[in-house]
Amino acid sequence: MTVTNLERIRKQLSPARRRKVAVRAAQLIAEEMTLQELRRARRLTQVRLAKALGISQDGMSKLERRSDLLLSTLRKTVAAMGGSLCLVAEFPDRDPVVLAGISGVEPDPPQTGRKHTRAPA
């Protein structure tokens, strides 16, 4: 069995294909950020975000270093940055599913096809 060297494969690609791969790699990297990287990308300081959350700068620093956050804490932090949190479950055998009621966002009620009108008084 021969081992394929990734660098050898990359060199076999055309320059245009290598650029396309590099652009896609950059897109994938940009899609994943730590909370600290997200705060910095939004051009917010720990002090400013901490003030919006009603915590100390030290508390914000600790929050950014945590690897396990409550969804409610994460939702409040993202909201304080001007965004909204959406939780999506991905499966190999179906399209992604947005989970409702977990991250604080409730789904719209199902449409029944009936219009609700008030009877005249």
pLDDT along the chain (121 residues), means of 10: 72 89 81 90 95 97 93 94 92 92 56 46 44
The set of residues, in sequence order, having a beta carbon less than 8 Å from that of 87 and lying 6+ positions away, is 71, 98, 99, 102, 103
- 87 neighbors 102 (Cβ within 8 angstroms): yes
pTM exceeds cut of 0.75: no
d(CA 87, CA 109): 18
Residue 39: half-sphere exposure toward Cβ, Cα within 13 Å: 20
pLDDT of amino acid 58: 97
The class level of CATH for 13-82 reads mainly alpha
* pLDDT of amino acid 9: 84
The per-residue pLDDT for 2 is 59
For 87, list phi and psi in degrees, rounded to 5: -100, 125
Query: What is the rounded CA–CA span in Å between residue 65 and residue 60?
Result: 9
Q: How far is the CA of 52 from the CAs of 31, 61, 71, 93, in angstroms?
A: 25, 14, 18, 41
Look at the block and give the residue holding tokens 């947005």. 98
Question: Which DSSP helix (H) or strand (E) runs through 39?
Answer: helix 35-41
The full set of domain ranges for the chain reads 13-82
